[in-house]
Structures are given as C-alpha cells and as structure tokens.
Amino acid sequence: MNVTERFLKYVGYDTESDPASTTTPSSLKQLTLAKALVEEMKEMGIQDAYVDTYGIVYGTIPATKQGVKTVGFIAHMDTSPDMSGKDIKPRIIDEYDGGVIVLNEEKDIKMGPDEFDSLKDKKGKRLIVTDGTTLLGADDKAGIAEILSMAEIIMQSDCPHGTIKLAFTPDEEVGRGADHFNIEAFGADFAYTVDGGEVDSVDYENFNAASAEVEIQGRSIHPGDAKGKMINALLVGMEFHSLLPVFDNPAYTEGYEGFHHLTDMHGECEHAQLSYIIRNHDEVLFEKQKQQFKDAADYINKKYPEGTITLTIKDSYANMRQIIEKDMSIITLVKEAMKQVGIEPTSHAIRGGTDGARLTYDGLPCPNLGTGGYNYHGKYEFACIDEMEKSVELLVKIVENIAK
C-alpha cells in the first residue's frame, strides 16, 4: 500500500476519543484500529508488534547496522471529539485549481483560499477533503500512514539503519496520549511525533497547557416567588466568563499569544458547569492566566454565597523548548534531511500540544514533524497527498542519515 491508500483505509475507522470517559482508552473503539495496525505491522515483518493494556501500539524494526542511535516515530490513533469522525467520506481532488472547493453542495458547505490561508499554495496539488459533515482524520491518521509507509520502504530496502521504534497512542486529543507510555520499554534515544501540519516544519515549541473546570451551585426557586432568593447558575456562569479578559480568546490570538477557550457549558438554574482550556507559550503569562481564573472565582464567591463556584485547574503539559534547546542535534538532523529531499526547513511555535511535549519532560526528547494535514478538528480539514508523500520521503532520509 502507498501512503494515500493507507490513509484512506485508516479514516474508515471511527476512533473519536471521549474527554468525559474514565476508561483507558477513553473510547474502546480505538482498540479496533489498534488491533488492525498490529496485524498490518506483523504482515510487513514487524514481528514484535503488539497493543498493550492501555491501547498503545508498539513495534520494532531491528537494526541492520550496529552502533547507531535508536530513533522512535510516534503518532496518535484517536480523532478529536470536536466533530464527528464516524462515517467519513473522503474525496480526492486530483488537481486543485486554486479556487473554492464545494464540500457539500446540498448543505452549501464550501472552502476557499480567501478564508483558509492553508489553501493558497496548494494549486495544482492533490488534496483529500471531507464531504462537509465530519472531520477528515488527518490528525493524526496521516501520521500513522506516513510512519508505516516509511517502515515498509526501510524493511524492503537494503539501506543500513539502526533500530527503529514505532508507537501509536490513543487519547492524544483529550490530553492522555502519553499517560501510560512506557518510555523504558520503548527504548529509543530520541523520537519524533508525526502530528503537525506543514511538512517543511520541525517544531519544538508548544503551549504550556491547563484545563479549568468551573462548577456552579445555584439556587432554584419557582420564578413566581424568586425575588431575592433565586441564584441562576447559568447566569452566574455567564458572569464568571465576563470577568475573564475578552481578547484572550483563540478567535483573537495568533503566534505566541496565549488564550483561554470555553469548550463546553451546560446546566440549568440549580447547577451549571463550564469547561476551559488555558494555553500560553510563556510560563509567566501562563501562571497569570490561571490566576485570572482564581480571581474571578474569588469575586463570585464573595458576591454570592461561599461555595457558589468550585474551580479546579489541572496542568496538562509544558513547553518542551527549554529541554530541546539543551541539545539541538535532533533538530539539526531533521533540517539537514529536509534540505536533502528538497524542503526548505522551518520551525514554528505550535499553537497546541503533542504527545511529544509530555514525553520530552518524561525523558524522551520528542519534537514534532508535519504530516501535510490542515484545518484540523473540523469539516474543513484536508490533507495534501503531495506533502504526505514528501513526509514519507523525509522520514526515510532521517533514518538513513542517523546510520551514516
């Protein structure tokens, strides 16, 4: 199979993760893809491929040259719960004309370069798009397809290489992808997550990240007799949100600018809950953002009865830059390989996070590589076939260069 065939096969699996679940993986349907990947890996000769009790797939390509550092490649199997990943109907555009793409004529769903900058340099390239009713799953099934396509090429070639470790994780999209990752058993000296966008980018900066849960206890009274008695939890929630900086919102931020993002709000008069994510590249500003949440909660609890708001903030992952910068050799390795396959290398500050951030802090240096996927987590997601193929070429070159 080539990388496109693999990708189209993998997006046929519904692997949406569930942030509300307490199971591991968060959705058991992820195990269906995990087991299929193990079988595929064994068929191509990766004899030790297996899925562990946490739903993580591991496998090894043995070295053909000794004294070479062991490299790992990692991608995640789950898709974002932000939009349905069930019954995905991908469509290939053989040569993008540079104009507006009609994703779904019946629902009048379109995308074009005026709205999406990611399309501006794709004229003449081959794209895979959605039908406008689901996400595509390039995040991160493109990464899986590229890693396994690289693995197949390496195993069928006679090029010398060191030991190559492969891993595919569940639940990255809900922040749990690295929770049970066995770094010691994985055995890599360093690794790369293949989970980004632009294929010319090797990224080693990411957000510091936290989640914030706001529980609001209201007081429900019959509205005909509510004066001076009712505390509407939904309105208190709206008031709490209004106390946060208005423009620290993902719709108004870019580059190194941080944000807080209200991901979910539900409830009734008696009780309500707001869920946020908090993000910033700068550690000092990150702590300031968390304090703003605490100050807002304190204000509400002084205005209303004590305990009206219960705030829980949990750190999720940290910016890996301060660790990677201590030894930039694994970044230099990628940039040299990029030049050799005709890519002009860049590095960007990731406005998100990867399993690699957690793994880096746990002792496995793990920057991020692009896949050629864009507009993640929604119906406008697409993948560029030309860039997926170039990613495979890059991964092969990285492996070859490590052995030189």
To the query of whether residue 14 is one of the catalytic residues in this protein, the response is no
Q: Which residues, 6 or more positions from 177, have their beta carbon under 8 angstroms from its beta carbon?
A: 76, 78, 169, 170, 171, 355, 358
**For the stretch 33-42, what's the b/e string if a residue is b when 16 or more beta carbons lie within 10 angstroms of its beta carbon?**
bbebbbebbe
To the query of whether residue 254 is one of the catalytic residues in this protein, the response is no
Helix, strand, or coil here: 15?
A: coil
Is 100 within 8 Å of 357 (Cβ atoms)? no
Pick the catalytic residue from 16, 18, 172, 355: 172
Known binder of ligand: residue 195? yes
Q: Rounded distance, CA 293 to CA 312, Å?
A: 10
Q: Rounded distance, CA 337 to CA 145, Å?
A: 20
Which stretches does DSSP call E strand in 80-137? 91-93, 101-104, 109-111, 127-129
- Interior angle at CA 359, CA 358 and CA 365, nearest 5: 125
Known binder of ligand: residue 377? yes
Q: Rounded distance, CA 201 to CA 218, Å?
A: 48
Known binder of ligand: residue 184? no
Name the region of 95 (left: φ>0; alpha: ψ -120 to 50; beta: rest).
Answer: beta
Q: In angstroms, how far apart are the furthest CA atoms of the chain?
A: 82
Helices (H), 24-132: 30-43
Q: Rounded distance, CA 282 to CA 259, Å?
A: 11
Pick the catalytic residue from 78, 140, 355, 387: 78
Known binder of ligand: residue 222? no
Known binder of ligand: residue 16? no
Active-site residue set: 78, 172
Q: Which residues fall in the annotated binding site for Zn(2+)? A: 76, 139, 173, 195, 377
Binding-site residue set: 76, 139, 173, 195, 377
